[in-house]
Structure 1
Amino acid sequence: MVNYLNTLQIDYYSANNKFATAIADLDGELPQETENYRYQIDIGDNDRSVLLTGTAKQANFKSYTVLLFIDNFDTERGEHAFNFSTCVTEQPSMTAPGRPLVIPRENPTLEPSEIQCPEGSEYLYGF
């Protein structure tokens, strides 16, 4: 579900020029908690990033963190270029991974920033 929240955040930002601060702002039908997970949105300090977490409520489940941020602005197309990474705990954990590290590129208009998942977590491919 955190990757679905990521997609909704991109759509929300495109329409409102800011990230949503609550799950209800993205979709009033989505729960903040399920039997197995608790979901949370945290806006970054500069309002150019958002952290989405899916924290396991069961000891045998992994937890997830998505960092979504504005990597640059495409002046030709007049739109923001978003970048994101989904990190998952390497082992089952009831604590979501911390904030991934963003390593800017020398020429951000040509290539996106690199993102590193925090220790104890790994990049989730396929999303």
Structure 2
Amino acid sequence: MVDDDTHAGTVLRDAMRADLMTAMKARAAETVAALRAGLAAIDNAEAVDVPDREGAHSGAAQQSVIAGATTGLGSSEVSRRDLTHADIRAVLADLMAEYRAEADRYAALNRPEAADQLRRQAAALSRYV
């Protein structure tokens, strides 16, 4: 069952993907880069934790020729985390903060063009937060 907050997160991600296609058609490189990075950050946040080495090698898997290999159809598939709308917004806010911090570093190194580019990418993500 999907609750309303998780559904809102899916709607937000779908909007980002639609905007990515629009930006690609418009050849807006900075917007494309920002949206790709945002979607990748969301995908990374959905990834599940990797089990510890001891838990990964138990039972029949220990006799496998390949270390850590599993057998059977779908035996290595794990469902991803369901992020809420608030979770996705937090991921994007962290990415924007990272862009702004890097922009400040570039500005301190007398690289105003690179700093401005990162600030524009952060601004492109701000409409989703």
TM above 0.5 = no
Which of the pair is proportionally richer in helix? 2
Q: TM-score, normalised by structure 1?
A: 0.22
Which of the pair is proportionally richer in strand? 1
Q: TM-score, normalised by structure 2?
A: 0.22
Larger radius of gyration: 2
Higher relative contact order (CA 8 A, sep 6+): 2
